[in-house]
Amino acid sequence: VIAMSLGGATGFNLESYLFGDILTVSTADLWLIAAGGVVVLALLVWHWQSLVLMTVNRELAIAEGVPAARIEAVLMLMLAIVVAVSIRVVGVLLITSMLIIPAATARLWSRTPQAMAVGAVGVGMLAVVLGLTMSMQLDTPSGPSIISAAAVMFFSLSLVLAHRGD
C-alpha cells in the first residue's frame, strides 16, 4: 500500500485490495493473471508426482528421492503467484477462502488427487461465475460475493452427501 502510494498510484482504493473488485481489473492485469496461471500450471504438471508424494508423506517422498526442499520451494512459489494475481479480483482478506473452499468442496466427492485438482478448478470457476452474477444482481462487492457462492456450494454439497450417507 505504501509503495503504491509513493509510486504515484492514482485512484488507489484500499478497500478494493482488501475485498476485491473485478471492476478494477485492467487488460494488463488480465495478461498478468493469464501468465501467472500458465506458470503455475506448468510447475504443477512438471512437479505433480513429487507434490502429491510430499503431501501424502514427506518422509516417504524423501526416501523415494524427492528433493523435499526444492519441491517445497516450488509449492511456495506457486502459492505466491496465485495470491499475487488474485489480489485484484478476490482481495487480500478473501484469498485464503478462495484457496481452501474449492479444494474442500472437490474433496467431498473426489477419489484421486487428480480428480480433486480438476474438481477444485471447476468449483472455483463456478464460484466466480455465480458470485459475479450475484454481485451484479444484488449490487454487492465482487470478492465477498464470489466467496459466498463458493461457501454455499460447499455447505450445500456437504448437506446433500450427509443426507445420502456418503
The tens place of each residue's pLDDT in the chain, 166 residues long, gives 455 555 555 556 677 777 777 777 889 889 999 999 999 999 999 999 999 999 889 999 999 999 999 999 999 999 999 998 888 778 888 899 999 999 999 999 999 999 999 999 999 999 999 999 999 999 988 888 999 999 999 999 999 999 987 6
Rounded CA Rg of the chain: 18
Other beta carbons less than 10 A from residue 11's beta carbon: 6
> Domain count of the chain?
1
Q: What is the pTM of this model?
A: 0.79
Task: Answer whether residue 3 is part of any domain.
Answer: no
Task: Answer whether residue 10 is part of any domain.
Answer: no
Task: Answer whether residue 95 is part of any domain.
Answer: yes
- Give 3-state DSSP helix, strand, coil % of the chain, rounded to 5: 85, 0, 15
Domain membership of residue 63 as a residue range: 15-164
Task: Answer whether residue 27 is part of any domain.
Answer: yes
Under a CB-based contact definition with an 8 Å cutoff, are residues 38 and 113 in contact? no
